[in-house]
């Protein structure tokens, strides 16, 4: 008896989730651009993961020189041409995506969760000293420009990707705290929250089970759009020499290297730059699509 009930319960719950996902996909797929963005994104992610196996010259991502092949324009053997030491730019771009995606994932992975939690707590305790303390701290961090902070931190430590990611994550969480705070503080007064309080439910339950699920939609959308911004930030840092250090194939690093040789050997800069544009655009399109998915339809 017990197992049968449990199975039925489980099956019903799963069916519900599946239907929700199907409906979400339907809404997402109404917009062809979002689907395109998703397709491109999936392609990039797979390419980045499988880089050593699918790129024509995987060894070019490591220290490598071949001056015989240097500075060749795009051709059938080198789709994006070669740089001034003879490395295949196409392969390096694919490897470069690894850095970009990592920085996005790490920054958001580290920054978003604390931001959400603090925003929830502040929102639920709206009007009390707890809110004041949390939100003023948030304000302080928000006032610091990420780029400047990253520069400052690098001035103190060695410039490398890890330190950059930490620096950016440090100033990224306040945006989420603020977003969730705004949502949570208005949700806090909804009838269903009052009802839970009146029933005697604990604060943790109310914050995480009642309020948080209603905040996820804007948070997820923002995360998707933020990926693009973070990637750009990382590329910028690499461009000015603080992020991914040569000879590693960071996209921003490659743009910097190739910039010295413009406009003659344009392929050295343009292709990495385009690669950055494409991945950011893809994230933005997916973010737009997500917004449609979560939008409440009114008929």
Tokens of 176: 């989420």
Tokens of 286: 């997916």
Nearer to other proteins, 126 or 214 (CB): 214
Half-sphere exposure of 130 (CA within 13 A, CB side): 12
Interface segment toward other proteins; rule CB under 8 A; list 70-78, 135-143, 192-200, 245-253 = 192-200
Backbone conformation region of residue 201, classed left if phi is above 0, alpha if psi is from -120 to 50, else beta: beta
Among 43, 65, 195, 208, binds other proteins (CB under 8 A): 195
Q: How many residues bind other proteins (CB under 8 A)?
A: 30
Q: Identify residues 19-48 at the interface with other proteins (CB under 8 A).
A: 23, 26-27
| Helix ranges, the chain (H) | 2-29, 32-49, 51-54, 89-124, 129-142, 146-156, 161-187, 191-199, 203-205, 216-239, 251-259, 267-294
Residue 4 sits in the site that holds other proteins (CB under 8 A): no
Residue 257 sits in the site that holds other proteins (CB under 8 A): no
Nearer to other proteins, 59 or 190 (CB): 190
Nearer to other proteins, 20 or 145 (CB): 20
Q: What is the DSSP string of 19-56?
A: HHHHHHHHHHHTSHHHHHHHHHHHHHHHHHHTHHHHSS
Residue 299 sits in the site that holds other proteins (CB under 8 A): yes
Q: What's the residue count for the chain?
A: 299
Residue 7 sits in the site that holds other proteins (CB under 8 A): no
Q: Identify residues 208-237 at the interface with other proteins (CB under 8 A).
A: 209-210, 213-214, 216
Cα torsion 88, 93, 96, 102: sign: negative
Residue 200 sits in the site that holds other proteins (CB under 8 A): yes
For residue 100, the minimal CB distance to other proteins (Å) is: 33
- State the residues that interact with other proteins by CB under 8 A: 2, 5-6, 9, 12-13, 15-16, 23, 26-27, 190-192, 194-201, 205, 209-210, 213-214, 216, 297, 299
């Amino acid at each position: 008896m017990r197992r049968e009930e449990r199975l039925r319960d489980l099956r019903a719950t799963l069916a519900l989730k599946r239907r929700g996902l199907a409906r979400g996909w339907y809404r997402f797929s109404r917009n062809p651009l979002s689907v395109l963005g998703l397709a491109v994104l999936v392609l990039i992610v797979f390419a980045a993961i499988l880089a050593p196996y699918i790129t024509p010259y995987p060894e070019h991502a490591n220290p490598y020189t071949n001056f015989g092949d240097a500075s060749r324009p795009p051709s059938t053997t080198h789709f994006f041409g070669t740089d001034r030491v003879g490395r295949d730019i196409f392969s390096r771009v694919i490897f470069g995506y690894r850095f970009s995606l990592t920085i996005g994932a790490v920054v958001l992975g580290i920054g978003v969760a604390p931001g959400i939690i603090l925003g929830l707590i502040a929102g639920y305790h709206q009007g009390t000293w707890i809110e004041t303390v949390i939100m003023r701290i948030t304000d302080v961090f928000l006032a610091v420009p990420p780029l400047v902070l990253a520069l400052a931190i690098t001035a103190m430590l060695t410039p490398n990707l890890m330190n950059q990611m930490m620096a950016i994550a440090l100033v990224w969480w306040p945006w989420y705290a603020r977003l969730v705070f705004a949502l949570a503080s208005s949700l806090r007064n909804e009838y269903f929250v009052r009802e839970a309080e009146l029933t005697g439910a604990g604060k943790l339950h109310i914050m995480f089970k009642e309020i948080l699920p209603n905040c996820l939609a804007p948070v997820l959308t923002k995360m998707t759009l933020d990926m693009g911004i973070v990637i750009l930030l990382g590329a910028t840092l690499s461009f000015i020499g603080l992020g991914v250090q040569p000879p590693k194939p960071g996209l921003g690093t490659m743009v910097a290297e190739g910039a010295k040789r413009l406009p003659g050997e344009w392929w050295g800069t343009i292709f990495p730059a385009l690669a950055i544009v494409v991945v950011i655009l893809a994230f933005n399109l997916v973010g737009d699509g997500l917004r449609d998915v979560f939008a409440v339809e009114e008929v």
